[in-house]
Amino acid sequence: MEDLIKSTEPELIFEPDGAPMSVVVLLSGSGTNFIAIFEEEMRRRDAGEGVYGRIDAVFTNAPKCKGAEKAREYGIPVVSLSSSKYFGVVGRGPEDEEAREYYDAAAVTLIEQICAPDLIVLAGYRRRLGKGVLRRYKNKILNLYPGDITKDYLVRGIDASVQALRAKERNIKCTVYIEKENERFGAALMQSQPILLKGFKERNIESLNQKIREDGEWKIFPYAVHELIAKGRAGVDAQGNIHVDGEKLDAPGFQYRSD
C-alpha cells in the first residue's frame, strides 16, 4: 500500500533551493518565445525575486539564426552544431535514428560543458529529439504547440490555426506540454486563454498567427517556466499525470488567466 501511495505522488520538475533554476533553450529560428522567456526573467530579477528560471545557455542547430544572434546580444552563451553540415558529413539523413542519437549526444556534451540544466525549453527548435536526450532529461523538456493538443483532428504539416478554422472552432488555445518519448505530444502542463477566431480567414492566417503568439505563446511559455516550474509548483507522477500545487490536472492542463 505504501509503494502504491508513493507511485501516485508527483515528483517536482524542479525543486527550488533559493537560487534561480538553470534553463537551456534550444532554438532554430527567430527565437520570439525565447525572447519572451528571457524578458520575463529580467523582469523578475529586477524585481528582486530570488526564484525564477535563468537562461544559462542557448543551443542551436542553425548557427546564423536570429534567435542565436539575439542570445549573443543578451550575453547568453550560445553553443551550436549545424545539423545540415553534421548529417552531410556523416552521410546520413536527419531521420536516421542512429545518426540522430549521435547528434543529440554531441549537443548535450556541448551544453553540459557550460551548465547542468534543470530544464530544457524547446523554443522553435526544428529537430526531433532522439530517445537518449528524452531519457536523460525525462520530464524536464518543455515544448509549446500553438493549438489545443487535446483536439482529435490535429495532423502534422498544417498550421494549428488553419486546422482550427477548418474545424469551425470559435477559439483556439496554445498548449505548453512536457516532451515524452514515442508520443507527438506529452502531457499538457498549461493552456492559454481562448483566442477568438471570429473574423479570421485562411487568407489572412499570418495575422491570426501573430495574434496567437502575442495573446497566447508569449504569455504562457514564460509563465510555465518562471511561475509553475521554477517555483516548484509543477510535478509529474509515475503515470505521467501533471500536478500543479498538489492537484492532478485534467487533460487540458492548468488554465492560464491574465487576471
pLDDT of residue 1: 45
What is the model's pLDDT at position 7?
A: 57
pLDDT tops 50 at residue 4:
no
Query: pLDDT tens digits, residue range 222-257?
Result: 999 999 999 999 999 999 999 999 999 999 999 999
Q: What is the pLDDT of residues 111-157, one digit of tens each?
A: 999 999 999 999 999 999 999 999 999 999 999 999 999 999 999 99
What's the first-to-final CA gap in the chain, in angstroms?
41
60 strand-pairing partners: 27, 80
Q: Which residue has the cell 504539416?
A: 157
For residue 3, pLDDT over 80 is answered with: no
| Structural domain boundaries in the chain | 1-10+146-175+192-259, 17-127
CATH class (in words) of the domain with range 17-127: alpha beta
What pTM did the predictor assign? 0.94
pLDDT digits (tens, 9 = 90+) for 32-81: 999 999 999 999 999 999 899 999 999 999 999 999 999 999 999 999 99
